[in-house]
Amino acid sequence: MNAGHIEPVFRVGLILGAILFLFVILWMLKKKKLTVRYSIVWFFAAFALVLFAVFPYIVLVLRDLLQVELVSNLVFLMVLAFVLFMLLSISCIVSVFSEKLKRLSQESALLEQRVRELERQLDGTGRESAPRGARGGGA
Amino acid sequence: MKILVIIPCYNEEENIERVVENLETAVRGQELPGEVDYLIVNDCSTDASAKICRERGFRFVSQPVNLGIGGTVQTGYLYAVCNGYDIAVQMDGDGQHDPRYLANVVWPVARGELDMCIGSRFITREGFQTSFMRRLGINILSILLKILCGARVLDTTSGFRATNRQLTAYFAQVYAQDYPEPEAIISAVLSGFRVGEAPVVMAERMGGTSSISAFKSVFYMVKVSLSLIVFRLTNIRKKGARA
């Protein structure tokens, strides 16, 4: 239970995992599956993971500073906080996008109507299916 | 004065023709402050609504994706702003709203007494009064609105409402997406607009299904109440400010 000692095999695994994570991010960037704008925060996360895996001493010091009993608890706490933050920020991004999408569809719908109206005017007398606008009232 | 009747339409192939015909007849039969145009906003219907509108030569816009009632009505408000209408009236595409009462909701706005006039079926209590559970929900929202912003509105979910030029422009910028009617009231009142009601008679829908099924109604109440409270908490009342 006494932290401070980490099995070398486990440590190698951690380092490899963290590096793999970093490479997945790079690969997604290369394939344009991820834009630089949204990759920054993931880079930081991957970098932190690599750092923790290579120098577990950092986590141990952090644990002593924050007086958490188990190292694993501290790691879980940090990961959870990060995931929570990421989820919230993704909800935020989705909200902004849905607002933009809404405005785009609305403008596109109005433009389509204008084009239709203009085409009808250009067609002139050819067709008789003129949109009726329920003119009337007032009198 | 130019008046635009906005008719949001989602899968209303059974009703849309009758709604437009009734509107045209009703407009001829009543005294209104100006010329009335209508605009059907087709919210990406999956049935023949768009086809009917095209064939019958109705004036309509078709949204490329489904935006829900809020975004659809807002498209109508945008159209009203772009085309310089003085009054925009929202009227459902399912035939619930009787266009013979158009004058009731339009005149208070035309005379400048109100910025938004909501057609309410609970003033004279005539016609279709909806189910007990719905009335309960509407009453709860009414009380909530009264507490949150002081507005006295009985028919909080009525989508039969007229807005003047300023409020139309405001709604074209800010309008809730999911269940927008109660939220539109609080957002208008807090921005300093005058909101009131006029008596109308509503019918039961002629065909199709309502956008709010029994299954969704609990979710509806939670969502609307929450959004009203959040809206009140995050917005400061603008004293007498008119957008």
What tens digit of pLDDT does each residue of B45-76 get? 999 999 999 999 999 999 999 999 999 999 99
Six token digits for residue B79: 């159209």
Domain count along chain B: 1
By the 10 Å C-beta count (0-12 exposed, 13-18 middle, 19+ buried), B63 is classed as buried
Question: Which has the higher per-residue pLDDT, A73 or A3?
Answer: A73
A106/B62 Cα distance (integer angstroms): 9
Contacts (Cβ under 8 Å, ≥6 apart) of B167 = B115, B116, B188, B193, B243
In a domain, B184, yes or no: yes
Q: Tell me: pLDDT of A3 over 80.
A: no
In a domain, B204, yes or no: yes
Question: In chain A, what are the domain boundaries?
Answer: 8-122
- CATH code, domain with B31: 3.90.550.10
**pLDDT band for position B179 (50/70/90)?**
confident
Residue found under tokens 């995992």: A17
pLDDT reported for residue B214:
66
Q: Tell me: pLDDT of A136 over 60.
A: no
Q: What is the mean pLDDT of residues A71-92?
A: 92
Six token digits for residue B6: 């906005």
Chain B residue numbers with beta carbons less than 8 Å from the beta carbon of A132 are 24, 57-59
In a domain, B109, yes or no: yes
Chain A residue numbers with beta carbons less than 8 Å from the beta carbon of B32 are 137-138
B26/B17 Cα distance (integer angstroms): 14
Are A106 and B177 within 8 A, CB to CB? no
CB-CB: which of A98, A102, A134 is closest to B36?
A134
pLDDT reported for residue B96:
86
A113/B51 Cα distance (integer angstroms): 14
Six token digits for residue A115: 């084009």
In a domain, B117, yes or no: yes
Q: CA-based angle B183:B189:B194, to the nearest 5?
A: 125
Are B63 and A130 within 8 A, CB to CB? no
Q: Tell me: pLDDT of B83 over 50.
A: yes
Q: Tell me: pLDDT of A139 over 50.
A: no
User: Which residues of chain B have a Cβ shorter than 8 Å from any chain A Cβ?
Assistant: 1, 3, 5, 20, 23-24, 27-28, 30-38, 41, 55, 57-65, 67, 71, 74-75, 78-79, 82, 177
pLDDT reported for residue A68:
86
In a domain, B33, yes or no: yes
**pLDDT band for position B235 (50/70/90)?**
confident
Contact predicate B69/B180, CB 8 Å: yes
Q: What percent of chain A has pLDDT over 90?
A: 41
Judging by DSSP bridges, how do beta strands B116-120 and B161-164 pair with one another?
antiparallel
pLDDT reported for residue B222:
87
Contact predicate B20/B54, CB 8 Å: no
pLDDT reported for residue B221:
87
In a domain, B241, yes or no: no
Domain assignment of residue B44, given as a range: 2-234
Q: What is the mean pLDDT of residues B127-154?
A: 87
B62/B44 Cα distance (integer angstroms): 6
- For B94, left (φ over 0), alpha (ψ -120 to 50), or beta? alpha
Tell me the C-alpha to C-alpha distance, in Å, between residue B136 and each of B120, B133, B195, B217: 15, 5, 22, 11
Most A CBs within 10 Å, among B18, B30, B67, B106, to test the A interface: B67
Q: Tell me: pLDDT of A109 over 70.
A: yes
B91/B5 Cα distance (integer angstroms): 7
What tens digit of pLDDT does each residue of B84-120 get? 999 999 998 888 898 999 999 999 999 999 999 999 9
pLDDT reported for residue A137:
40
- The candidate with the shortest Cα–Cα distance to B98, out of B172, B204, B220, is B204
> Strand, helix or coil at A91?
helix
